[in-house]
Chains A and B, each alone.
Chain A
Amino acid sequence: MDVLALEAKSVNGAESEKKSSSRPKPKPPKKAKRIVYFEVEIVDLKTKEKLLLLDKVEPTATVLDIKALFQKSYPKWYPARQSLRLDPKAKCLKDEDVLQTLPVGTTASFYFRDLGPQLTWGTVFLAECVGPLIIYLMFYFHLPFIYSPKYDFTSSKHWVVHLACICHCFHYIKRILETLFVHRISHGTMPLKNIFKNCGYYWCTAAWMAYYINHPLYTTPYYGQMQVNTGLYVFLFCQVGNFSIHVALRNLKPPGSKTKKIPYPTKNPFTWMFWLVSCPNYTYEVGSWIGFTVMTQCVPVAFFTLVAFIQMTVWAKGKHGSYSKEFRDYPTLRSSILPFIL
């Protein structure tokens, strides 16, 4: 799942909340200052039924404030679940938009749509990563009902199988730790349905891979120890690279800041990939999985690598495009994911 494509467009609801609640209430001046209060009407997008009328809304109120007021009347719909827009065909309004900057008169009409139950991106990432970790280990330890009963709780006699388990677990533990401590996830939430879709994919492919790698009839790689070692070195190299990029992206801007910056190579040699590629974290991720495929010589792993490559290319192209549009002096040497190729 893409954490960092969203860093490029930072939607920071928390900041605007702070802004609106920590606004110091000025002492009312002696002469009456005319504040033009807005009237806000919230209408259901599909049925056009009038849901709520708010009068005396401050002109400096943000969309998030209005969502909070809306929730008071309809407690079920928390702000992350609300989508407000000025026109049924227009785009959804951002939480930090201020009421008086919107193209409305003093009576504003918002169309409301329920986005359904929402989950934070962090929750989804963790679920996506914990699943494969546990599932792979279930196959590794030959838990009952997976393979033939005579193999229950046995251990594989091939060294590469143990190595593959260590690498797979290392990869997902690293991802979990990064989600908890390194990534700055700027996007708020996603619909509940997504967790089933995403987790379903990650968990099923993990099970499919783990089944064959840990199978009692597993065949070791054709070129033997040399192939295993090559795969392992590529995997480790790319894991370190991937981590370096995540740290570099985290250090790119201070927490809570919304300014977007172009990432540049730092003193860490792994970040020198930034000279050639906009999204080196994806490049390294693909590299890791290629290493793992070579190490295990397993078709399901190759399939997973291919699908991951296609998905990450789509994300990388999107991010590369938004960088190029955002910054006039964006380095022209950079490709999106594969140096000089893609």
Chain B
Amino acid sequence: MASSEEDGTVEEKENNNKRRTKSALATAWLTFYNIAMTAGWLVLAIAMMRFYIQKGTRKGLYRSIARTLKFFQTFALVEVGHCAFGIVKTSVIVTGVQVCSRIFMVWFITNSIRQIQNEESVILFLVVWTMTEITRYSYYTFNLLHLLPYFIKWARYNLFIILYPLGVAGELLTIYAALPFVRRSGMYSMRLPNKYNVSFDYYYCLIVFMLSYIPLFPQLFLHMLRQRRRVLHGEVIVEKDD
């Protein structure tokens, strides 16, 4: 019937318009977000360099950039939302694991355990994170604007080969350095007996967290290697179906 056909196409057009405005909105938000994060991590990098040049020591460097770091790293939680709402086509779990491990390091290790804030391993992972994030967010920004220079693409898919293991080393060394202080202070721990009939030992939790790097790190690293082969060399990789 002619009238119902017309209604059908009008509805379709409305849906298409809705979808177009939604995706235009999503792209605008993502562009803003990636520009903001690139700027944030650039600010962090410059602040760190300035501190080291002016003071010549790493003592107090963490304290000077702590607030900015906490703000921008925590804000990255939004990326999990991007994946969950389908605005970004990445797995929620992969993004979730990466963001959560960062948040854990920032809030539950370096923020809570003051004695390790001046360790070299902290500087190591801060430098690595800064370099990785600036590359990553600028890659996303230029990608969204369809103006991607090859050197950023190259940087994003090659630097991680060195930066990722270095970052992991920095994080693990920091946690290892923090262990004695955690044991001594008994922080974030709950002992029996108590009315909830549960106990928690932060010291052993940290050890388990460190051990979890063993299965997780290779998987994330191989995932990045596969992405690299696909993006840089156009290889079609047959994924193993689970």
Contacts and interface: CB of A to CB of B under 8 A. Distances in A.
A222 B195 CA distance: 7
Interface in A273-310: 296-300
Interface of A: 46, 113, 212-213, 215, 217-219, 222, 296-300
B114 to A, nearest CB: 30
A219 B193 contact: yes
B43 to A, nearest CB: 41
A217 B193 CA distance: 5
B195 A298 contact: no
Nearest to B192: A217
Nearest to B199: A212
Nearest to B238: A46
Interface string B192-209: 111111110000000000
A212 B195 contact: no
17 contacts: A46-B238, A212-B198, A212-B199, A213-B197, A215-B192, A215-B197, A217-B192, A218-B193, A218-B197, A219-B194, A219-B197, A222-B195, A296-B197, A297-B196, A298-B196, A299-B197, A299-B198
B116 to A, nearest CB: 30
B192 A297 contact: no
Given A218-B193, A219-B194, 15 more contacts: A46-B238, A212-B197, A212-B199, A217-B192, A218-B197, A219-B195, A222-B195, A296-B197, A297-B196, A298-B196, A298-B197, A299-B196, A299-B197, A299-B198, A300-B197
* Chain A interface, DSSP helix/strand/loop, else mixed: loop
Instruction: List 9 tightest A-B contacts by C-beta distance, closest first.
Output: A299-B198, A217-B193, A298-B197, A217-B192, A299-B196, A212-B197, A219-B193, A219-B195, A219-B197
Contacts of B192: 212, 215, 217
Contacts of B241: 113
Contacts of B197: 212-213, 215, 218-219, 296-300
A189 to B, nearest CB: 17
A297 B195 CA distance: 8
A201 to B, nearest CB: 17
A298 B198 contact: yes
Nearest to A218: B197
B198 A300 contact: yes
B190 to A, nearest CB: 10
A26 to B, nearest CB: 43
A246 B53 CA distance: 73
A298 B193 CA distance: 12
A215 to B, nearest CB: 6
Contacts of A46: 238
Interface string B43-84: 000000000000000000000000000000000000000000
Contacts of B199: 212
B211 to A, nearest CB: 16
A262 B196 CA distance: 43
Interface in B177-222: 192-199
Nearest to A191: B242
Nearest to B195: A219
Nearest to B200: A299
Interface string B215-242: 0000000000000000000000010010
Nearest to A299: B198
Contacts of A213: 197
Contacts of A218: 193, 197
Contacts of A219: 193-195, 197
Contacts of B238: 46
B148 to A, nearest CB: 31
Contacts of A296: 197
A46 B241 CA distance: 10
Nearest to A113: B241
A297 B198 CA distance: 10
Most buried by A among B196, B198, B241: B198
Nearest to B193: A217
Contacts of A215: 192, 197
Contacts of A298: 196-198
B188 to A, nearest CB: 15
Nearest to B191: A217
Contacts of B195: 219, 222, 297
Nearest to A222: B195
Interface in B118-145: none
A340 B193 CA distance: 40
A219 B193 CA distance: 6
Contacts of B196: 297-299
Nearest to B242: A193
B106 to A, nearest CB: 26
A215 B192 CA distance: 9
Nearest to A212: B197
Contacts of A222: 195
